[in-house]
Structure 1
Amino acid sequence: MPRHTVAKIDLDALRHNYRLARERAGDAIAMAVIKADGYGHGIRAVARALAAETDCFAVACLEEALAIRDEGLPHTVVLLEGVHAAEDVASCQRLGLEPVLHSHHQTAWLTQASARPRSWIKVNSGMNRLGFAPAELTEVMARLADADCPVRGFMTHFAAADEADNPATEAQTRCFQQAVAPWPEAELSVGNSAAHFRVGQPLFDWSRPGVMLYGASPLPEQMGTELGLKPVMTLESELIAVRTLNPGDAVGYGQTWIAERPTPMGIVAIGYGDGYPRHAGTGTPVWVKGRRASLIGRVSMDMLAVDLSAAPAARPGDRVELWGERIPVDEVARWAGTIGYELLTGVTARVPRLYHQSGRNA
């Protein structure tokens, strides 16, 4: 039978988090961002679960949009990176997708196409990653109007919305408002997950909640549960061996951890081959036998070791939560020197996703 390493996905928690995003968005409409395979949760299942909650999904690329359409969902789908080839324009028109235009070569593909889907214009308000400079917008809009290309609205992306005291977000908001002022009928979108929690931050017509939908915090100083979010993914495995280490015994590659006293140790059937971060160090928490335990030594490809001193009754076959309901993914991310986004999207395909809602299999 297969290993008992699984990612349990709580679809009710997903819907709860979307409703919280919608509430915090105020008068703005929340388009659900489900790119990167639904942040590692499975884009098809996520789209189905949110289909009755939202009228609009946002993804990064055409392949992700195709997965939504393959599920038979008619929702508006926004391509946040736009099209990557001229022939993609026809696919957008055929499938009813709305690409975001951020570069002149994309506008050229659109204006030269025989069928032209409705699009969004990305404004570079200060992140300096993608988007047209404010001074370019008049020319871009004129070119699109001349080719009879419908434009739905404008969007930008914040560089530091997760930093409450950073003035960059206020500056980007002013820049964006000034840049799009000549087109008062256009719809506007600025709000990533972090922006939903900024006091007084205008979100205009459309917000774009992403990681918050999956229960991870977009704010570095707070856990998702502190923001009212529920964890959607619980990453679990089991103990496959238990032994007692003697003083002086070393554990794992590089022998980086050495027992100073008799120590009960368990081996868990999960590693970086499953997406658990290799750089999670000694002390990173797990949950076993109703107690918090901690990693010791280096994470291997398929296994990791835990100190069972806090759970001495643990035995092979006992379940181990790596993150989820009891161990926040944000906490594990801090121990690993990264963010919850990376951990959730990094869970590999060999880990089965098991979906449930209200205690039933989905």
Structure 2
Amino acid sequence: MKLSGEDIEIAEFIIGNIDESGLLSCSIEELAETLKATPERVERILMKIQRFDPPGVAARDLKESLMLQLRERGIDNNLAYRIVDEQLETLDRKSHLQIAKTLGVTVERVQEAMDIIKTLSPHPAYGRFARAAAAVIPDLIIEKIGEEYVISHNDRNVPQLRVNAGYKELLKRGNTTPKETKQYVREKLEQARWLLNAINQRRNTMIRVMQAVVHHQIEWFERGVEHLRPLTMEKIADIVEMNVATISRVSSDKYVQTPHGVFEIKYFFNSGVNTEHGEQLAKRTVKQEIEKLIAAEDMGKPLSDQEIFKLLKQQEISIARRTVTKYREELRILPARFRRRTAT
């Protein structure tokens, strides 16, 4: 796959937003807005990434992932592909006979197509990139001192990097060190200074980014994890006057110890949905509400996505029913029909 420099940056950012199950964790529009690129350009690059192994990777939802897997097998013009394309959202409610009548085919053909669909993976990359659990050591510590939140690096017991003074002595006038050796040492000292400056700059960047995050997520720090607000990397990039890619690098696999526990810095960046009062809730907060509703449901009569949609609406959370389905799938929660089977 040949890409230009800017396209490579977009591709890397897309890949960085693929979750451990293999699905894309944000929309084309969100990627385009963050990267300041056109949606068409982002989608063109995404389509190239979707050709990678395993089949179905980088799909935006379950439906697209299954269709990509069928296309990879060269069976994108048969009944299985049509069922996924046209009937996926109703599979948990319709019998094979009902699907056959809807599509105008025999029950036997539907059964054969369903057997193919059952061989597909709803999480194409699940387990392939999983890492063994390891202790997380936070890179930053946030403490509330008085009325302010103070951010510091978690390196109090780590020796400070510095250049050995013995090498500087080799460059002093009058030293009998050979000219070639001095030139070599001089070059290495410049490289060492560059490395130290880069490390210090990265440390300062992490502090500045986290300061901006704390400012915009102050409700979360003051009132708890239920009060996470929508926040994009682009917004923080504008505040600290840095590139979005830089914000992404200092946020990935970097952790911060807060009064509410240890979190990855990326946790604080998320898209939002509107309430009926015009306020915005973080996508992660909405997912937590869906989890709560399902956890409290009657196991003999689990909630359908439509019922969850209505209950969220009663809480003045306005999202489409298909968005409920998308969030439930991202949470790896089975549809109502299969949750009932699990309960029995």
By percentage of residues, which structure has more helix?
2
Larger Rg: 2
After TM superposition, the score normalised by the length of structure 1 is 0.26
Q: Higher strand fraction: Structure 1 or Structure 2?
A: 1
